[in-house]
Structure 1
Amino acid sequence: MGHVIVVDLGFGDAGKGTVVDRLCEAAGVAAVVRFNGGAQAAHNVVARDGRAHTFAQFGSGTFTPGVRTHLSRFMLVDPLALAAEAGHLRALGVPDALDRLTVDRDALLTTPYHRAANRAREAARGAARHGSCGMGIGETASYALAHDDAPRAGDCLSPARLRRRLAALRDWYLAAFPSGGDVPDVDACADAFLAFAERVRIVGGGHLHRLLREGDVVFEGAQGVLLDEWHGFHPYTTWSTTTFANAETLLAEAGETATRLGVLRTYATRHGPGPFVTEDARLTATLPEAHNGTGPWQGAFRVGHLDAVALRYALELTGGVDGLAVTHLDVAGARPDLRVCRAYAIGERRVERLEPGPPGDLDRQAALTGRLFDARPVYAPLGRAEETIADVLDVPIVLRSYGPTAADKAVSGQPLGRNPGALRSAV
């Protein structure tokens, strides 16, 4: 199959996990590499035999025997959440998930102190909440930017250093959030993290290079491009690079390339607050999902029509893709009321293109967000979904999904990974 990078082109929840599961059934797939985000990911996979699991840190190919998971240095690793996820997989008949897991020693650790800080900060925003998952992801990233001694996976191999860094983090939390929630003491947290290090393999950067030589690797992204920390609609974004950039950095270091696969639904969804031009309350009411509801931190699950303007923006800022994986084609076939937004009306202007800006200019992104709150969708009938998507995005569809399992997916067109860049969109 060749190496493949799987990235969501929307606000997340497009079906990355189920696409990765399908790809990992191919012969020769050695591993899934996670390259952004952390335990807040929620990639729902239903196996062919009906077993269901929400993959957060383990790769979504774990149901396939022998496929390994590698958490790269760009991952934010939560050992406590990882242990709970391993327990659920064990109950589903996957007893060796931890045996097939490796963690880069430079990966940041998400701790109970980060989680408590995240919830205290978000609660303090009141009605101006950004829409956090409440799992400490942003706090993990921001703390590491400000502190050279932020805990990392490799620290779990050095008990004294781990306790010292956890103590500094705990003290920071207590000083910054004196009215925040209770947190465990340092010794209890350290003991749990040391147990984690005894159970998993913590490795150096050369391990991934060996994986890439041993077989095909699927790079599994988290969240979506429209939530990207630099290019998303600030401040309703994540503290994570959700584009192809991290995966391609890891590949370049090993002298490898991969096919870029962009994932999208036949209609749009979004969790929590933020601009959502094509939101339709009627669709939200009639297209509910058991695993996507309103959460105490993340907010409501919202549904809308396909947004070609936002998707073209995602394609342009990422540099294009080699092919698309389109999910929920079964829904599109059953809902003739679905539409496609081909342009926005902003005041008297018709806008068909949102221009990406330079990374790091968050004032510019915030101004873009303000304009999107005032935008109105210019609709056309969706019609035959796959034909419309291929037309409005000018990218070939190479994987079609008509349901939750791998059996509901068809791969067609040029084989994935055989000639990276050959199908790259020219947006």
Structure 2
Amino acid sequence: MLTRMQAVIGAGFGDEGKGRTVDALVANAQRDGLRPWVVRFNSGAQAGHTVVTPDGRRHVFHQLGSGTFLDAPTYLGAEVVLNPWLLDAELEALADLGVRAPRLLADPRAPVSVPWDAMINQALEHARGAGRHGSCGVGFGETVQRSQHPGYALQGADLMSEARVRARLTAIRHEYLPRRLREVGLPLDALGTFVDNPALVDRFVADALSLGRRFEWRTPLVLAEQDALVFEAAQGLRLDQDLGEFPYVTRSQTGLPGIARMAREAGLCALAPLQAHYVTRAYLTRHGAGPLPDELPAPPAPGFSDPTNRLNPYQGTLRFAHLDPDALRRDIRSDLQRIAISKTSSTPDRNETLTVHPMLEVTCLDQMGSTVFRRNGTSVPVADLAVATAAAVGIALAAEAWGPARTDRRVVTMDVQRRELVLQE
């Protein structure tokens, strides 16, 4: 019976510290005698959530949940895009770190990327030149687009049949691909000579069937049988397709709506409230194209370190700005409002309404100097930044992180109204 339900949501443009927060929440649940699952509900393999264990192992999670070092099972929902050709590499990297045969489950309706999705994605970004949208180049948005056409959608349930996979690939290549290229104004040769290589199809089929064997295919109803769930969002609220600035957004809702849909379908709403942990760094980052108000020419922190977000041909270099409490407040409240709307019915159904307890987490405090500047022109001692930010946002402060590992996370209880701060061991 579900007794604890938590979520980790990025409050910026991504890269806020979601991975380390999920890892810590899983460890806490296990310490309390629970057996948590990590649930991904949006995005796909373009996610990059870094976890550093107390013994120094480090991995950037893409398709697996960030509780994998702690043997927490991963469940991927119906809106998570599966990427067969990148999964084996991630599993091999984890095996080198001592993690073998993690338990993986997924909704059989989850869409599956095919190589031509990534090819179109990359060709479009190249064609846009200085007007790029900031894509990661793995084909997530193109997979979502193609999956809207039932005749060309490849789903997790299809990966148990080689004949089914090959038949769908044939339809995509000869019917959907030419149509999609015309829609976006690209010639076929923009995808390169590899587009019709038979080895491409054979390799993808092998990877797809391998993914099909590695996963247990279960509907969300299985979630109600667990005693603890940690929902792990990908990207951040400022990249949400509804809250961000189009076209520099991702093709998903990065906050509460996706969790609420899954919770309603699985019958979770009446079982436990959702503790929503909104995460931000002590400064603001953006990796990719798009607006970044008052962008800084260099990192705002003298101890800045980020080995995950390196220069790449699609997103460029990591960009920086001072933390903006007003934007945090606006975006978090906008996300909460999307859930509150469902409670305005004259006859609300308790089984359909998700109760949310929001709280804030601030990471990367160890990278700052003694004083932290904020976008509104004020400065705060680094020791007080998390408390001051939570007060400005108007929600409780749950924790602050002074390093990359879960042991560097300090759990905090702060009553926003009374401004009382209590540190817990």
Say yes or no: TM over 0.5: yes
Q: Is the 8 A contact 1:35 1:247 kept in 2?
A: yes
Tell me the amino acid that sits aligned with residue 234 of structure 1: F
Q: Distance in 2 between matches of 1:212 and 1:267?
A: 37
Partner of 1:363: none
1:51 aligned to 51, 57, 60, which one?
Answer: 57
The range that moved more, 257-266 or 187-196, is: 187-196
1:306 counterpart = 2:320: no
Which ranges of structure 1 fall in alignment gaps of 5 or more residues? Answer: 343-378, 415-427
* Equivalent residue runs for 1:370-381 within 5 Å: 379-381=377-379
1:129 aligned to 127, 132, 152, which one?
Answer: 132
Relative distance call for 1:329 and 1:29 in structure 2 (3 A) is farther
The range that moved more, 394-403 or 220-229, is: 394-403
Q: Per-residue deviation at 1:174?
A: 5.4
1:30 counterpart = 2:30: no
Q: Distance in 2 between matches of 1:394 and 1:331?
A: 25
Tell me the amino acid that sits aligned with residue 123 of structure 1: H
Partner of 1:197: 212
1:213 aligned to 216, 225, 228, which one?
Answer: 225
| TM-score (norm: length of structure 1) | 0.82
Partner of 1:80: 85
Partner of 1:324: 360
| TM-score (norm: length of structure 2) | 0.83
Deviation per CA, 1:219-261: give whole Å up to 9, x if none.
0000001001122111111111111111111112222242211
Q: Per-residue deviation at 1:285?
A: 8.7
Q: Distance in 1 between matches of 2:300 and 2:244?
A: 23
Q: Distance in 2 between matches of 1:392 and 1:294?
A: 33
Partner of 1:152: 155
1:170 aligned to 170, 173, 178, which one?
Answer: 173
Q: Per-residue deviation at 1:147?
A: 4.6
1:278 aligned to 294, 299, 314, which one?
Answer: 294
Partner of 2:236: 224
Tell me the amino acid that sits aligned with residue 378 of structure 2: A
Tell me the amino acid that sits aligned with residue 98 of structure 2: G
Tell me the amino acid that sits aligned with residue 130 of structure 1: H
Q: Is the 8 A contact 2:11 2:238 kept in 1?
A: yes
Q: Distance in 2 between matches of 1:339 and 1:413?
A: 24
Q: Distance in 2 between matches of 1:335 and 1:292?
A: 25
Q: Per-residue deviation at 1:196?
A: 2.1
Q: Is the 8 A contact 1:268 1:278 kept in 2?
A: no
Q: Distance in 2 between matches of 1:254 and 1:246?
A: 12
Q: Is the 8 A contact 1:278 1:306 kept in 2?
A: no
Q: Distance in 2 between matches of 1:288 and 1:259?
A: 29
Q: Per-residue deviation at 1:214?
A: 2.2
Q: Is the 8 A contact 1:30 1:211 kept in 2?
A: no
- Secondary structure of the corresponding residue to residue 77 of structure 1: coil
- Secondary structure of the corresponding residue to residue 413 of structure 1: strand
Q: Per-residue deviation at 1:103?
A: 1.6
Q: Per-residue deviation at 1:41?
A: 0.3
- Secondary structure of the corresponding residue to residue 375 of structure 2: strand
- Secondary structure of the corresponding residue to residue 323 of structure 1: strand
Q: Per-residue deviation at 1:173?
A: 3.0
- Secondary structure of the corresponding residue to residue 152 of structure 2: coil
Which ranges of structure 2 fall in alignment gaps of 5 or more residues? Answer: 182-186, 338-356, 415-425
Q: Distance in 2 between matches of 1:289 and 1:24?
A: 23
- RMSD between aligned residues: 1.9
Q: Is the 8 A contact 1:118 1:136 kept in 2?
A: yes
Q: Is the 8 A contact 2:288 2:315 kept in 1?
A: yes
Deviation per CA, 1:278-331: give whole Å up to 9, x if none.
321132695352221221011221011001222122112101652111111222
Q: Distance in 2 between matches of 1:307 and 1:88?
A: 36
Partner of 1:341: 375
Percent identical = 36
Q: Is the 8 A contact 1:102 1:200 kept in 2?
A: yes
The range that moved more, 15-24 or 136-145, is: 136-145
- Secondary structure of the corresponding residue to residue 140 of structure 1: helix
1:242 aligned to 237, 240, 254, which one?
Answer: 254
Q: Per-residue deviation at 1:387?
A: 2.4
